[in-house]
Amino acid sequence: MTTPTKKRRRILIGVGGGIAAYKVCSVIRHFTESGHDVRVVPTPAALEFVGKATFEALSGNPVSTTVFDDVDEVAHVRLGQGADLVIIAPATADLMARAAQGRADDLLTASLLTVRCPVLFVPAMHTEMWEHPATQANIATLREHGSTVMTPASGRLTATDSGRGRLPDPQEIALIGELLLDRADALPYDLAGVRVLISAGGTREPLDPVRYLGNHSSGKQGFALARAAAQRGASVTVVAGSTTDPGDPAGVHIVRISNAQELSEEMTKRAADADVVIMAAAVADFRPVAVADAKIKKGDQGPAPIELTTNPDILRGLVEARDDGRIPSETVIVGFAAETGDETGGVLDHGRAKLARKGCDLLVVNAVGDGKAFGTEDNTGWLLSAKGDETALPFGSKTLMSSRILDEVRQLVPDGPGA
Ligand X SMILES: Cc1cc2nc3c(=O)[nH]c(=O)nc-3n(C[C@H](O)[C@H](O)[C@H](O)COP(=O)(O)O)c2cc1C
Chain positions contacting ligand X, by CB under 6 A? 16-20, 43, 45-46, 90, 92-95, 124-125, 129, 158
Nearer to ligand X among residue 19 and residue 77 (C-beta) = 19
| Share in percent of the chain as helix, strand, coil (round to 5) | 35, 25, 40
Q: Measured from the CB of residue 119, what is the shortest distance to ligand X in angstroms?
A: 16
Nearer to ligand X among residue 67 and residue 125 (C-beta) = 125
Minimal CA–CA distance to 90: which of 246, 327, 220, 250? 250
Nearer to ligand X among residue 119 and residue 363 (C-beta) = 119
Q: Measured from the CB of residue 250, what is the shortest distance to ligand X in angstroms?
A: 15
Catalytic residues: 215
3-class DSSP state for residue 221? helix
Q: Measured from the CB of residue 219, what is the shortest distance to ligand X in angstroms?
A: 30
Nearer to ligand X among residue 112 and residue 318 (C-beta) = 112
Q: Measured from the CB of residue 53, what is the shortest distance to ligand X in angstroms?
A: 18
The dihedrals phi and psi of 77, each to the nearest 5 degrees, come to: -105, -45
CB 57, CB 36: distance < 8 Å: no
Strands 212-213 and 308-310 come out as: unpaired
Strands 153-156 and 162-166 come out as: antiparallel
Q: Measured from the CB of residue 21, what is the shortest distance to ligand X in angstroms?
A: 8
CB 374, CB 217: distance < 8 Å: yes
Nearer to ligand X among residue 170 and residue 381 (C-beta) = 170
Query: Please, what sign has the CA dihedral across residues 346, 225, 315, 327?
Result: negative
Minimal CA–CA distance to 10: which of 118, 102, 99, 98? 118
